[in-house]
């Protein structure tokens, strides 16, 4: 009875030992030596030896696998694919590798040759072999994302996270996709998990910044953008978005600095982001009356892409200013030269300059008196002249302030000078008052006359 049970058990053990022996100890010694050669990057001699073996002994699955490995290492991916597929078609178990390793190598070759469908087919086979392999699931998700198939991309990113709950790349991609889908709550959840597990996840920081920016929490947004700008991929965009945050906060100098950093980083790299930033910078200059600077940005955009947004219309709108060198000098001349222009304007108007005071870079307050040779008996009466260099159309509020300032300085009348025409409410307010408005076309005429005299 005991012998009856012993014999089948002995046979099973013997079969297992024979399998182990053939599987691990009787690997073809010659092929094993060639494999070591390949691992040492001696592919040229290995290909020669393998082809000789295949001709003499026939093509075993291991010989063809090693030949595929040589071709792959030599970047002959098409030939490598032929050999790997031959291995799979033999339906035999190799000694030196596994089906999984062969299919992974095929995925690499197909992706390098941009054969996306074939790569996906092999990845699906790999998920059949290892359903919970997060690495393969992530590759599938990223391929679907690149193809624009967001539904399948989300499915596989989600499967990746289930297989690997701290998979940073999947979390950040899911956060980005949810942001663009306007599913803000879900986006914040994924992105905060991503930065929790990886303090250098720049994609997650960037999109968290976008969320805070859209929610008008500009301080938090700037903090996130500063973290993301350490990445070359997000650096330009981070500067651009920081500039937009500072612009919304009315911190104009900070906004200008960030836009300029974005432009400096984008030159020669990303023309689309360069155009976006130039447009934003031009818009900021225009809103703050810096038309000469705005025009410089618009002209730069026009040279690159004339059809970009409304650039052609903007340049046409300010065509007169672009063509008038005198007005350009008024807008952009450095202070010493500009003071000379002001002296000439005051003199042209029939006044003698007594005092000049610069308020920042764009507003100048002048006290003047009528020239002695013109009206002797009022020579001590003071005239208040306020000059704006920014090309912002001034309304009634600015003129009311001018009147109050003039009274405080004990001036009998006031003059306001601007490079653009005044709004209608400002003109209406000055009716029957001792106030003169010199703007736009009239200023251009005066500058031209002054130029002739000088």
69-78: long-range contacts, CB 8 A cutoff, minimum separation 24: 69/38, 69/105, 70/38, 70/43, 70/46, 71/47, 72/105, 72/108, 72/109, 73/38, 73/41, 73/43, 74/43, 75/112, 77/109, 77/112, 77/113, 78/109, 78/113
Please give the pLDDT value at position 440: 85
Segment 55-60 shows an average pLDDT of 74
**Is the pLDDT higher at 314 or at 55?**
314
Q: Are 345 and 446 in contact (CB under 8 A)?
A: yes
C-alpha distances out from residue 203 to 216, 288, 346, Å: 20, 33, 57
Total Cβ atoms within 10 A of residue 109: 23
Please give the pLDDT value at position 13: 66
Please give the pLDDT value at position 39: 84
* Angle (CA) 26 32 34, round 5°: 155
Distance between CA atoms of residues 224 and 207, nearest Å? 8
Q: Would residue 360 be called left, alpha or beta, if left means φ above 0 and alpha means ψ between -120 and 50 degrees?
A: left
- 122 closest CA partner among 154, 148, 85: 85
Distance between CA atoms of residues 130 and 348, nearest Å? 88
Beta-carbon contacts of residue 25 (< 8 Å; ≥ 6 apart): none
Secondary structure letter of residue 421 according to DSSP = P
End-to-end CA distance of the chain: 130
Confidence of residue 25 (pLDDT cuts 50, 70, 90): very low
- 247 closest CA partner among 235, 234, 262, 232: 262
Residue 372: both structure tokens together: 């002695």
H helices of 24-133, in order, are 29-39, 43-57, 61-73, 77-89, 99-112, 116-129
Beta-carbon contacts of residue 384 (< 8 Å; ≥ 6 apart): 365, 366, 367, 402, 405, 406, 409, 411, 413, 414, 415
**pLDDT digit string (tens) for 187-242?**
999 999 999 999 999 999 999 999 999 999 999 999 999 999 999 999 999 999 99
Residue 211: both structure tokens together: 């969320």
What three-state secondary structure class fits 351? strand
Distance between CA atoms of residues 208 and 206, nearest Å? 5
* Angle (CA) 199 201 206, round 5°: 115
**Is the pLDDT higher at 16 or at 39?**
39
Would you say residue 22 has pLDDT above 60?
A: no
C-alpha distances out from residue 326 to 304, 339, 397, Å: 27, 14, 28
- Residue ranges of domains in the chain, CATH in brackets: 328-453 (3.40.1350.10)
**pLDDT digit string (tens) for 102-157?**
999 999 999 999 999 999 999 999 999 999 999 999 999 999 999 999 999 999 99
């Amino acid at each position: 009875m005991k012998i009856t049970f012993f014999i089948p058990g002995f046979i099973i053990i013997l079969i297992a030992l024979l399998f182990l022996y053939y599987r691990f100890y009787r690997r073809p010694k010659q092929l094993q030596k060639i494999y070591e050669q390949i691992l040492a990057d001696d592919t040229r001699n290995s290909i020669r030896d393998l082809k000789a073996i295949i001709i003499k002994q026939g093509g075993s699955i291991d010989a063809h696998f090693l030949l595929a490995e040589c071709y792959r290492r030599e970047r002959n991916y098409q030939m490598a694919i032929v050999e790997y597929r031959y291995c799979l078609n033999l339906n035999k178990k190799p000694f030196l590798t596994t089906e999984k390793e062969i299919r992974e190598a095929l995925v690499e070759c197909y992706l390098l040759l941009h054969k996306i469908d074939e790569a996906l087919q092999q990845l699906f086979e790999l998920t059949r072999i290892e359903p919970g392999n997060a690495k393969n699931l992530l590759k599938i998700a990223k391929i679907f994302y690149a193809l624009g198939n967001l539904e399948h991309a989300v499915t596989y990113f989600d499967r990746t996270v289930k297989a690997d709950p701290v998979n940073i790349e999947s979390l950040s991609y899911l956060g980005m996709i949810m942001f663009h889908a306007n599913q803000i709550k879900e986006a914040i959840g994924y992105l905060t998990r991503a930065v929790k597990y990886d303090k250098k996840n720049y994609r997650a920081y960037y999109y968290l910044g976008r969320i805070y920016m859209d929610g008008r929490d500009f301080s938090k947004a700037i903090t996130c953008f500063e973290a993301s700008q350490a990445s070359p991929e997000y650096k330009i965009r981070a500067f651009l978005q920081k500039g937009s945050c500072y612009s919304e906060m009315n911190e104009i100098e900070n906004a200008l600095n960030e836009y300029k950093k974005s432009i400096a980083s984008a030159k020669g790299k990303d023309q689309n982001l360069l155009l976006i930033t130039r447009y934003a910078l031009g818009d900021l200059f225009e809103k703050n009356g810096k038309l000469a600077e705005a025009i410089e940005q618009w002209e730069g955009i026009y040279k690159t892409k004339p059809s970009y947004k409304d650039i052609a219309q903007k340049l046409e709108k300010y065509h007169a200013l672009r063509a008038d060198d005198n007005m350009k000098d008024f807008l952009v001349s450095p202070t010493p030269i500009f003071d000379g222009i002001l002296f000439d304007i005051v003199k042209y108007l029939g006044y003698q300059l007594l005092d000049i005071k610069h308020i920042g870079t764009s507003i100048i307050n002048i006290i003047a008196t009528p020239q002695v040779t013109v009206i002797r008996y009022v020579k001590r009466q003071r005239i208040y002249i306020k000059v704006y260099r920014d090309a912002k159309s001034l309304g009634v509020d600015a003129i009311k302030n001018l009147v109050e300032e003039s009274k405080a300085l004990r001036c009998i009348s006031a003059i306001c000078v601007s490079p653009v025409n005044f709004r209608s409410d400002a003109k209406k307010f000055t009716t029957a008052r001792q106030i003169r408005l010199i703007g736009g076309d009239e200023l251009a005429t005066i500058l031209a006359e002054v130029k002739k005299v000088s």
